[in-house]
Amino acid sequence: HGICFSHEDKLRTLLWQWRGDTLTDEAVGVLSRVRAELEGVLGEQLHALLTRREVAATLARVDRLLTTRRHPQPSADWPAIPWPPF
């Protein structure tokens, strides 16, 4: 989700070698700052560019990462590789 704000919960940009791994303290710090900014100027800027659903999805993803402190796992309901393959 690093380059995609879609409200659909599909992992598109994660390198799977880190799936389930614990986030570094540095990553948690960055996410904490991003979360705080989403309540301020950054949130206002995103609301001007994205839909409410997309902003809410971004907040939920950041909150999930801060809660679990782990890289996400692929869903069993969605292929973990680009589909259909080229």
Q: Could you report the per-residue pLDDT of 36-82, keeping only the tens digit for each?
A: 999 999 999 999 999 999 999 999 999 999 999 998 887 777 666 66
Whether 7 maps to a domain, the answer reads no
The predicted structure's pLDDT at residue 6: 72
Name the range with the highest mean pLDDT among 9-13, 23-27, 49-53. Answer: 23-27
Q: Which domain, by its residues, includes 57?
A: 23-68
Whether 39 maps to a domain, the answer reads yes
Q: Average the pLDDT over 14-30 and give the result.
A: 89
Whether 37 maps to a domain, the answer reads yes
Whether 82 maps to a domain, the answer reads no
What is the domain count for the chain? 1
Whether the per-residue pLDDT at 1 is higher than 50: the answer is: no
The predicted structure's pLDDT at residue 59: 94
Q: How far apart are CA 33 and CA 29, in angstroms?
A: 6
Q: How far apart are CA 65 and CA 63, in angstroms?
A: 5
SS3 for the chain is CCCCCCCCCCCCCCCHHHCCCECCHHHHHHHHHHHHHHCCHHHHHHHHHCCHHHHHHHHHHHHHHHHHCECCCCCCCCCCCCCCCC
Whether 6 maps to a domain, the answer reads no
